[in-house]
Amino acid sequence: MEPKKKLINSADNCVDEALCGLVRASGALSLLKGHRVVLRSDLGNLRGKVALLSGGGSGHEPAHGGYVGAAAILSLHNAGASGVLLIVKNYTGDRLNFGLAAEQARNHGVAVDMVIVAEDCAFDQPSKAGRRGLCGTIFIHKLAGALAEEGCSLDQIVSQVTEVLKGIGTLGVSLSPCSVPGCLPSFDLPPGDMELGLGIHGEAGIQRSKVASADKVVKTMIDHMTNPDSQSHLPLKSGDSVVVCVNNLGALSCLEMAVVTRAAIICLESRGVEVARVMSGSFMTSLEMAGVSLTLMKANQETLRLFDAKTSAPAWPTVSSVCVSGRSYITNPEATSTPPQADTHSEGPLSPLMRQVLGRICSTLLEKQEELNSLDRAAGDGDCGNTHAQAARAIQEWLQDHVVPGCPGKLLSVLAGLVQEKMGGSSGALYSLFLTAAAGHVSEGRADAAAWASATHAGTQAMKRYGGADTGDRTMLDALCPAVDELRKLTAAAPGGQMAVLQAAVQKATSGAESTRDLTARAGRASYIAAERVTLPDPGAVAVATILKAVLESLEGQNFRPHCFTQTTAKMEFACSHVVCDWRPVGAASTGFSPTEHTYDNRVTLKKQGPVPPPVPPRHRPRPTSLPPHHLPPFQPPLRPSSLPPPVPPRIDKLEGENRLKVNVNVVSLSIGNLVDISQASGLENFQSPVICGKCSAALSCLSSMQSNVWVCEFCGCANNVNNSVTRVCIGQRAGVHSDDLYLPDQSEDDYQNLEDTLVVFCVDISGSMIVTTEVTSGNGFPGYISRLQGMQDALKKALLSLLQQSPHRRVALVTFGDEVVIYGDGTSTPLTLRDWALVDYDHIWQQGVAYTIPHCIAETYQQLIQRVKELREYGATSLGPAALASVAMASRYPGSKVILCTDGMANIGLGAMEQTPSLSSSSPLTPIFYTQLAEKAVESGVIISVMTFEGTDCRLADVGRLADSTGGRVNMVSIGTVATEIESASIDNVLATGVTATLLAPDGVYFPYEDENNHKLVKDIGNVTRGMEITVQFAVKPAFTDVFIQKDTLPFQLQLSFKTRDQQKVTRIITEQRPVTICSRIQTESLNTVVLGVHCAQLCASLTMEGRVQEAQRQLKAQQELLGKISKQRPIQQEENIYGNWMHTMTTICEDISPESEILSDEAAKVMYQMKRASSATSSNSIPTEKKKKKKKALVAGI
């Protein structure tokens, strides 16, 4: 082994040359001729002051010469100094040499004293040599120097710094050895290992282990430094204030130092320690050792005053005198508009496909990370794979929390913003340029093959224009340009040949990337590298080819058809394009109507002649882009020349057998999450109040007929007088077949609420069972164990940090429950404890919760909440019900707030205690009355409750989950590994609207099976709405009205949504449209929107199962599966449709295993049921695969 390379002239002269460099650069220091001694140039200023003397061996630069400036050394008595203080590190050589100097000086009549710095915290047991002196020495330099400059006496200085020394501790960690110039390394450290507690000369430490993350290493260091079991520990408690020195031992990069500094601040603050000052840099090194030491000095006002005193020492950093803890360090950009990635968007028919493509791209880039890094090391800095992986992860995170906009241009703008922000570097800028330029060429209405070809061409031109590169320059353009040229052939390709064009484009990109192996780089960082050293393909070109290949594979897997791109979708979407008038439920058991068959002949009364209504445009089509277009022709008004008889409908009694539909396809899907988001309705007119029918409360619309100020309601036939002065009369005279209107009544300023004025309450189980441990893999790869409560504490810390970073003005509160309920609030007030009789007093708990104020936001209470979480301990029973009640009461003060309830066991004390196990029979309701009432109270108060239980426990989720099901929250089961992610995700979910009521009106003669079978008006109190919420409703025609409706051209439908937005703005949104009518025999099943039918089936069957109506759920499932099977014989079943088939299989598995007399739903089955009740077309990617549920079949039902 050879000595390490050093950039010096010679090992013999390097110390003298280094000292010369120091003093010549400083301007205020000088060398004592003939000695390796650094002096202040202004020795005359020392008269009457104590001089300081310190030093040691070389290799620790900038110590100690860099700290000369507040004192000087040697001949100080002749300069008029009133005494000399020797500051010595506790090493034998240092003590001997400085001790000798002190004795010699005393012989000459000089007043001398010595302070020995021994602040090393490495060793647990005391030794004769004592603790070593490390980087804490520079704190003594600074404080003693400040005191000397103020004119303090030698005794005063010694007294003060000796007291300060008691509160200083240092510990180091090394990732590599160091070596004296011309010598071999002082010790060996295997690759991948680190050593804790070594000295600055390379002396052995106390422990070797595998290198861990910066956060873990810093935590280990501070844990060891403050361990009271160690004789050398630094006593540090919550509330103490410290000065932190993060010292680079020589070879860490500035990037690493900044990461460690952040970790040290966060770790100390999490313990309740105030970080008053921080200095980070190289202060006492060990040559080129890769490592860091942490020095903590307990500080009071006097210590900080001396620390902040000005000095001319060249190595002392400029440190702010502002306290680090508590200082706001995030500045919100004053953007004129919201970044595209932060906007909310509405889904469209392309959304599922684009989400699938993006997911495939991201996963592929993550798989290629190391390969791209390897290619980049030959001609760059080796991080091409890392930057692409950063972009992929950013997109994946965005996809988890956002809907994919239906407009491709908006999606490209979102992606441009994400890669610009998260990817960084030249690659991020180039991709962002491409996406930004391409975004203007595609839209929801123009997303055909020609538009995409134009978009990719525009993006490529922008990269050339601003990047300065072109084909042949050995860049990503060598893969992208040939592919884009090939894609331009899409404009002339027949639909059947467009996939072949895509395949050829990918082949061109792959060949182009491979060709860069033989090209000379003329752009980018590789252009500065000798050509003979660059023999591998360009990593940027390989990345482009990888992305295009992933797009192709995803489209091939989706049976992609480019001509489907122009489909549109509606927020009120029907499963069938026509209203089927003659559908009858099999057996008619659930409808209250007998399946009466009507006989028709040619003697049908003609309808009165009148003006022909406008045709219905074919705007409502299946949601998924991969579904084929409708085979039903667009509805046209029938021609009725006087010479032709009217059309005769077929006899319904002839429709038995194969043409008979067992599934009611009269289903409408209402995208409530989109409809209440009025930020997406900026183009709609808005008015103060609608004109309402006096009988059925329908609103005047574009379908309404007005004659002489009289409106005959199209839904109930009631005649309504309408005043001409009413501004909304214009709606009744507006042409069209669809209207979408907003009504915003006048409100006073007091009616509004700040968007941030909401509360997040963490309601956490700390009962005795939370002590149960789970085996986990530690950072060093060895197995370890963590209790449920420890996992919960870690999860809460992450959630609190996320809220602090994303919503610093949000209020956050903590409630715990065991034998008693403890309301900690925001952590700043005295906790309120509810125990004994109070746990069964509903009114008392509610009043206490409402009265407990949360005055501060998390930006002010973060430290206190973290400390409360750290202090939690397991004990006692499970008073879940009282805790949930108190949490809802606290949140009720702030509509739009949320409660996150986490538990690992069944409630067994206080309100809501579950002593008996109910069955799944209709006579024994599944949900106890307490949880039903509490859910209703939460809905009334605009509070969302999310419920999370631990896997493998029996929490009676079927009961407790009612709280989340009714309020719009999440129901989930977590593990130690997933609890942090789930809680953090639930805590940042935003409520879009509260107090939501949906009213669906159809003509008199229509009814709603399973809802209101005697009324053509359906009112549903929804309560709270979050993003992606979707409800489905089926309707049918009463037998007595079949004749009438079959003779009509269309039937009107109206949706009225009343709600309050997050800022408590009252809104009514009314959508009205008409649908053509038909009969069963004319329905082509392959044209049905099976996504709408599938969502409805999941929601309906899950609700029936939870109500104990298992046999009805089974009948519905069987009929739905038969329909899907029938469709599969007529056309291929697409992936998004298969997902709902998997849902049906899962529910069938659960239902088949339930015996109402002997068994109940297990927590696992209840979770599935609740998730299916909230199924939507936007959540299909999160559906439960059939294979997985087959494996868990036996766990879905629990015996008594």
Catalytic residues: 201
Cα–Cα separations (whole angstroms), residue 913 to 814, 877, 887: 22, 11, 17
Nearest-angstrom CA–CA distance, 453 and 152? 80
Total Cβ atoms within 10 A of residue 1125: 11
Cα gap 1175→1120, rounded to integer Å:
16
Structure tokens at 473: 């320059």
Phi (first) and psi of residue 918, to 5 degrees: -80, 160
Residue of 576, 671, 568 lying closest to 350 (CA atoms): 568
Structure tokens, 444: 């929801």
Q: Are 1055 and 670 in contact (CB under 8 A)?
A: yes
Tokens of 943: 């509070």
State how far Cα 26 lies from the chain centre: 50
Q: Are 120 and 171 spatial neighbours (Cβ–Cβ below 8 Å)?
A: yes
CA atoms of 913 and 809, how far apart (whole Å): 36
Q: Report how far Cα 84 is from the mean position of its chain's Cα atoms.
A: 60
Strand, helix or coil at 614? coil
Rg of the chain in Å (alpha carbons)? 38
DSSP bridge pairs for 815: 763, 823
Residue pair 567/559 in contact (Cβ under 8 Å)? The answer is: no
Q: For residue 447, what are its two tokens?
A: 């997303």
Strand ranges inside 886-1016, DSSP E: 898-903, 944-950, 971-974, 991-1001, 1006-1007
* Tokens of residue 38, six digits: 């650094």
Query: Residue 274 and residue 270: Cα distance in Å, rounded?
Result: 9
99-112 residues labelled b (16+ CB within 10 A) or e (exposed): eebbeebeeeebbb
Q: How far apart are CA 886 and CA 841, in angstroms?
A: 11
903 phi and psi angles, rounded to 5 deg: -150, 160
Q: Which of 136, 104, 107, 125 is nearest to 115 (CA)?
A: 136
Q: How far is CA 396 from CA 73, 393, 419, in A?
A: 62, 5, 12
Tokens describing residue 1190: 């087959």
Q: Which helix (H) or strand (E) holds 426?
A: helix 425-439
The one-letter amino acid at 866 = I
Tell me if residue 499 falls in helix, strand or coil: helix
* Distance separating alpha carbons of residues 809 and 759, to the nearest angstrom: 10
Block residue for tokens 């079943």: 1133
